[in-house]
Structure 1
Amino acid sequence: MMYNATQKVISLSGGREIVIETGKLAKQADGSVVVKQGDTMLLATVVAAKEAKPDCDFMPLQVDYKEKYAACGRYPGGFLKREARPNDSEILVARLIDRALRLLFPADYHAEVYVTVNLISADKDIQPDALAGLAASAALAVSDIPFGGPISEVRVARIDGQFVINPTFSQMEHVDLDLIVAGTLDNIMMVEGEMKEVSEEVMLEAIKFAHEEIKKQCAAQVELSKELGKDVKRTYCHETNDEELRQLVIRETYDKAYAIARGASSKHERMDAFDALEAEFASRYTEEELVEKLPLIKKYFHDDVLKKAMRNMILDEGIRLDGRKTDEIRPIWCEVGYLPAAHGSAIFTRGETQSLTTVTLGTKLDEKQIDEVLVQGSEQFVLHYNFPPFSTGEAKAARGLSRREIGHGNLAWRALKPMVPVGEENPYAVRVVSDILESNGSSSMATVCAGTLALMDSGLKMKKPVSGIAMGLISDSATGKYAILSDILGDEDHLGDMDFKVAGTRDGITATQMDIKVDGLSYEVLAKALEQAKRGRMHIMDKITETIAEPRADFRPFVPRIVQMVIPSEFIGAVIGPGGKVIQEIQKATGTTITITEADNKGYVDIFSQDKDGLDAAYARIKGIVAIPEVGEIYKGKIKSIVSFGAFVEILPGKDALLHISEIDHRRFETMEQTGLKEGQEIEVKLIGVDPKTNKLKLSRKALIPKPQKA
């Protein structure tokens, strides 16, 4: 054996185990582990540069999560048949890891760090995303990279009123709460998930329950690190500071910055004033001196002046950058139906944040197709979020979709998803698109509100309106002071200690996302933040329902209409026809789009058209195909062909029956020419029987003609 592997075993409920193994794979990385649960295996590696890049003053962390199709014996789709760029779900898992790790690196550590987590074996019933954070942290724990962890992440779900850690895919069908929670031994760092209108108290209990499991997983990593001698980390020096300059910046600019912060100005006015103050201070130095001093001036002005001025102003005076009280919501205005040709549209504006959102309703052919390693199927409701640079006044080009846009869109989608009817309740595919036109404070929660307005404007029968709010926190561990902020600004998010987004209906929470940037945040403070968030959500909900209180009675004029039919599954083939001939002919003749899906031994036929006559015609054609002819019924049929012994008559679409020459009249005919019947002629006939051997239908015209009286 050419390796020396070390393992740690973590016990879960129900006899399940998580195994952390190191020393076997990827040994040239700074740290690598394999995390196993059942047949699921994640390989996590971490590599850090030995030195920071010149003039780098931030933490350049890159986290990637990748699922290998071979992990569960599948081929990738597409032409190349290989894994390509990460899909949305892989990006979302990478973000969950990143948000938990990033803030725990030392503030003065600026070396490039690359964390890579690969799913290399997959049990089809185990959800690997719940193990990815543990794997990433364990790789850091067995390295010498400076890190303030360990952390771990777990999924907590509520099933039949009981909390469960890391439930399986099959168990997820019955949950009403689904959260991913990340934390250290002492603190919660990150929460994200969706719920079915649960209370604030239930959500808080779920977080506490998850933290107990996180503590066990963190303790195992601490033990592993000590066993391997990796509890002592590498030395580094990535910052050179000038304490005299720091004190000079604070002394010369703090009071002026405090006055600007207290001026309750708009975002750009405030930024321009701060920039001018910084430039004024820097102007005392020559260009040669600024080569060395300017980066430090910017750092001290941001960290020791702006940040502290804003925080002290809020904690000491209860005044915020725009003049609001801590629990005050910015002015809101809403409008629906702004885009006349869209299926549904809305503008939601809260302070300096604005979303223009549209709704498009389509057929099953428009549904999002999912072909991931462990998840396949389709998604009837999708939400897309766009954040162009002009929304913050930036002069730069938009270059593709960012991870941030995917994450914010997913949060808004989770918030609205429980209230958007799907399946038998709604035959339409639903696409919501939020274009952020202005941003200063949570645009994802503006998307939730604008999405609610646009959905109700479209006429889709949304179950309940949903509103969302972003909360913040400013705290001082030295004095114990703290302030919970409702409807935070961008600067309050950036300079504060917590970004906490909550969305839901009047009856409960549907989605949440929380990032905590401070140690020792108590559950008491979290509970107060949740209660204050609820009051804010209800205020925003009132503004939404003042604009439109419920879905429109009918769809907007440009919405194509759908009629749904449910047919026995054995008739699906008859409606489609050989090679799709029948359904294609119906679509061509009626100008409709028809989709058929099968579930529960039934066929669900959706007929989609903007033309009512075409819709009715297609409905009638399909209804005829699936109709079961009844003996004794009278039909108006068309003669399709004439043979020597009778005529074949189409009594229902696709259903021909024989009218024998002897059943045409009470008179006896020797030839069909004597009957006078022609192809294409419409006649009334009666179904008189079904041949038990061949199931062929027998017709009679004679049965509808009075028998002549004998002379």
Structure 2
Amino acid sequence: EGDQTLENYIRDRASGQIKKILSQFEFTKPERDAALDVVKDEIATTITELPEEDPIRVAATANSKALGNTFKDITKYFMRRQIIEDNVRVDGRKLDEVRPVSCLVDVLPKRVHGSGLFNRGLTQVLSTCTLGTPGDAQNLNDDMQLDQHKRYLHHYNFPPFSVGETKPMRAPGRREIGHGALAERALLPVLPSKEQFPYVIRIVSEVLSSNGSTSMGSVCGSTLALMDAGVPIIKPVSGAAMGLIKEGDEVRVLTDIQGIEDFLGDMDFKVAGTDTGITALQMDMKISGLSLEVIAQAVHQAKSARLHILEKMLACINTPRTETSPYAPRLLTIKIDSDMIGLVIGPGGKTIKSITEETGAKIDIEDDGIVTISAVDENKAKRARNIIQGMTRKLHEGDVYAGRITRIIPIGAFVEFLPGKEGMIHISQLADYRVGKVEDEVAVGDEVIIKVREIDNKGRINLTRLGIHPDQAAAAREAAAVNR
């Protein structure tokens, strides 16, 4: 009886003021929240001023949550009645109207390779895109399927300041992980294949301000960031969150719900997709069961919202950039015979380490012989590619190359004619006349034109300087200049 008396007391004093505040369409979320808090605080103050033996004060003291819960129920009732009866929402929007949308790209220094800022009402998400090498892929060896790698990573952060709160910043929680997974699923279908775009892609969506549907905001912001980074996505993706108010047989589907409509409504139905199809769906329900007609209406209404948002995004950037950031790694991909992988790696990784040290490039080799070479400086990547191509190139007798003398022994001179490939010119093959000493004809560091004379059964390469046509020599010099 005391609780009912307290509830009646709160309703009598709060209902009119709450209804009035909810009809002030010009209020922003902070202004509306502040006005409601003032009403609640005033009622709390009047209760504390009642005599101690007053049943209302006794009931409020016995149940500290009674005031807050009743106040929430009244707010929920009038918000829902306003939508059902007047088809108007607390911010004055129509049921199918999207909040104002604005977009920006290239808002951060290019060190992050790409960035996009998406703003819809008071929801604001900053997404950054960073491109990595194949070796940066996430290793998913935590289940029964071994040797699985993830080349697209989407991380979502929801800091306390985005909702005006202060609390410790700890590891991502269930909410952050779930929203990040939803945004990731929404974008996966439009990402380029590994063969087309060998980079590992990491997106981080930072929620700067939240008032509903930050997960769909991160989808939109991340699409902008991907295009800003030069990722050739198949199509841009946008998303919207649909809400529901159901009172008896009266049903209203809401487009682009804000925080209060999610908190006091019956559904949060997130829909993401391109202009031709849906890529991801997620539904949170607070009531039991929905008819197919209502779901169909929500999906149809969401399409109009998505296309409206997509139009705003494309006005900011309509196609992916044709070039990646100068700070993104430069990737070169070549294919070698799988039986040559051991040769490139070398005993204990000695050969591949030496190539890395010499060129500064990072090298990733897959089991099928695909070699991906990455470096911020494209020339370093090309140098590493030339070394590996030289090591794995199959030689044929009669091939002509330009090389450099690396060392001299009494019976001949060694020549490096391809990166990592060395052969020997016997003293008898240095000239078409008798040579007394090797040093009389060549010195270490000399550039020479040589021809592959023989590859013996041990794989040793014997070279000669004899029988080379001038045109062959000119072509060899030109090829060497290109490969340097």
Evaluate the alpha carbon distance shift between residue 563 and residue 251 of structure 1 in structure 2; reply closer, same or farther with a 3 A threshold.
Answer: same
Query: TM-score, normalising length from structure 2?
Result: 0.90
**Unpaired segments ≥5 residues, structure 2:** 471-484
Shift of 1:441: 0.8
- The structure with the largest strand share of the pair is 1
1:635 is matched with which residue? 401
1:614 aligns with 2:380: yes
1:580 aligns with 2:349: yes
- Aligned pair partner of 1:499 in 242, 246, 268: 268
- 1:140-169 alpha-carbon deviations (Å, 9 max, x no partner): xxxxxxxxxxxxxxxxxxxxxxxxxxxxxx
- 1:646-690 alpha-carbon deviations (Å, 9 max, x no partner): 333222222222322332222234x54475333333211111333
1:366 is matched with which residue? 136
- Aligned pair partner of 2:23 in 253, 262, 281: 262
Contact 1:380 1:422 in 2 (8 A): no
Evaluate the alpha carbon distance shift between residue 421 and residue 705 of structure 1 in structure 2; reply closer, same or farther with a 3 A threshold.
Answer: closer
1:698 is matched with which residue? 462
Shift of 1:373: 2.8
- Aligned pair partner of 2:450 in 677, 685, 708: 685
Q: Distance in 2 between matches of 1:375 and 1:517?
A: 37
Evaluate the alpha carbon distance shift between residue 241 and residue 365 of structure 1 in structure 2; reply closer, same or farther with a 3 A threshold.
Answer: farther
1:561 aligns with 2:330: yes
- 1:205-263 alpha-carbon deviations (Å, 9 max, x no partner): xxxxxxxxxxxxxxxxxxxxxxxxxxxxxxxxxxx972233233333322321111111
Evaluate the alpha carbon distance shift between residue 674 and residue 243 of structure 1 in structure 2; reply closer, same or farther with a 3 A threshold.
Answer: closer
- Aligned pair partner of 1:442 in 213, 217, 220: 213
- Aligned pair partner of 1:412 in 183, 192, 198: 183
1:474 aligns with 2:235: no
Evaluate the alpha carbon distance shift between residue 469 and residue 674 of structure 1 in structure 2; reply closer, same or farther with a 3 A threshold.
Answer: closer
Q: Distance in 1 between matches of 2:426 and 2:44?
A: 105
- 1:310-366 alpha-carbon deviations (Å, 9 max, x no partner): 111000001111111110000011100011232101110000000111111111222
Contact 1:358 1:434 in 2 (8 A): yes
Contact 2:411 2:438 in 1 (8 A): no
Match of 2:455, as an amino acid?
A: V
Contact 1:566 1:604 in 2 (8 A): yes
Query: TM-score, normalising length from structure 1?
Result: 0.62
1:113 is matched with which residue? none
Q: Distance in 1 between matches of 2:446 and 2:195?
A: 41
Q: Distance in 2 between matches of 1:309 and 1:705?
A: 95
1:655 aligns with 2:421: yes
Evaluate the alpha carbon distance shift between residue 705 and residue 488 of structure 1 in structure 2; reply closer, same or farther with a 3 A threshold.
Answer: closer
Contact 1:441 1:488 in 2 (8 A): yes
Match of 1:404, as an amino acid?
A: R
2:78 is matched with which residue? 309
- 1:440-459 alpha-carbon deviations (Å, 9 max, x no partner): 01101000000000110011
2:365 is matched with which residue? 596
Q: Distance in 2 between matches of 1:558 and 1:656?
A: 35
Q: Distance in 1 between matches of 2:239 and 2:193?
A: 22
2:480 is matched with which residue? none
Q: Distance in 2 between matches of 1:528 and 1:545?
A: 26
* 1:381-400 pair list within 5 angstroms: 381-400=152-171
Contact 1:337 1:345 in 2 (8 A): yes
Match of 1:256, as an amino acid?
A: Q
Greater relative contact order (Cα < 8 A, sep 6+): 2
Identity of aligned residues (%): 43
Shift of 1:293: 5.1
Q: Distance in 2 between matches of 1:422 and 1:587?
A: 27
- Aligned pair partner of 2:36 in 263, 267, 274: 274
Contact 1:502 1:512 in 2 (8 A): yes
Match of 1:631, as an amino acid?
A: E
Q: Distance in 1 between matches of 2:224 and 2:332?
A: 25
SS at match of 1:703: coil
Q: Distance in 2 between matches of 1:381 and 1:509?
A: 19
Evaluate the alpha carbon distance shift between residue 383 and residue 680 of structure 1 in structure 2; reply closer, same or farther with a 3 A threshold.
Answer: same
Contact 2:413 2:438 in 1 (8 A): no
**Unpaired segments ≥5 residues, structure 1:** 1-239, 707-711
RMSD of aligned Cα (Å): 2.0
SS at match of 2:416: strand
* 1:95-174 pair list within 5 angstroms: none
Contact 1:262 1:321 in 2 (8 A): yes
Of 289-298 and 356-365, the range deviating more from structure 2:
289-298
Contact 1:241 1:296 in 2 (8 A): no
1:350 aligns with 2:120: yes
1:297 is matched with which residue? 67
Q: Distance in 2 between matches of 1:241 and 1:514?
A: 39
